[in-house]
């Protein structure tokens, strides 16, 4: 990644991009999001328009993943089963209408793996529900 000099951080961003863009039907775009995010990768899915599904902010010193969550359906994600890092991010989320704006720093592969669990659950709940979840 241009601009990210720490190879570990660059690898985490590359891995996060692969994970997010690899979800079925997900489209990745890059757009200016203003301060403090600046340029960000935006992930959209037709099932969740007009709200973006997730954002990856490739800050050279502090990459982040931001995930807007539909507040009424947060409990159906099984929040209590998430690791502490993810639960704390949900608790720190900022409500705007019915959307809870959550974000996590992803400074290491282990932090990315913890946030990935949330992303996978959100995907299964909002986009690809199983037969017992419909």
Q: What pLDDT sits at residue 6?
A: 76
Model confidence band, residue 133 (pLDDT cutoffs 50, 70, 90) = very low
**Torsion angle of C-alpha atoms 129, 41, 118, 16, degrees rounded to 10:** 110
Separation of alpha carbons 29 and 60, rounded Å: 19
Q: What is the pLDDT of residues 62-107, one digit of tens each?
A: 999 999 998 888 989 999 999 999 999 999 999 999 999 999 999 9
Q: Which CATH number fits domain 7-125: 3.90.1150, 2.40.128, 3.30.2320, 2.40.160?
A: 3.90.1150
pLDDT of residue 2: 52
């Amino acid at each position: 990644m241009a601009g990210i000099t720490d190879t570990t951080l660059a690898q985490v961003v590359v891995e996060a991009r692969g994970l997010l863009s690899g979800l079925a039907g997900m489209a990745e775009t890059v757009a200016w999001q203003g301060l403090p995010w600046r340029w960000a990768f935006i992930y959209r899915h037709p099932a969740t328009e007009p709200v973006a599904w997730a954002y990856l902010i490739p800050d050279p010193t502090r990459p982040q993943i931001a995930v807007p969550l539909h507040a009424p359906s947060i409990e159906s994600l099984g929040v209590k089963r998430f690791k502490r890092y993810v639960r704390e991010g949900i608790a720190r989320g900022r409500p705007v209408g019915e959307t809870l704006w959550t974000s996590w720093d992803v400074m290491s592969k282990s932090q990315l793996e913890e946030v990935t669990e949330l992303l996978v659950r959100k995907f299964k709940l909002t986009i690809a529900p199983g037969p017992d979840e419909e």
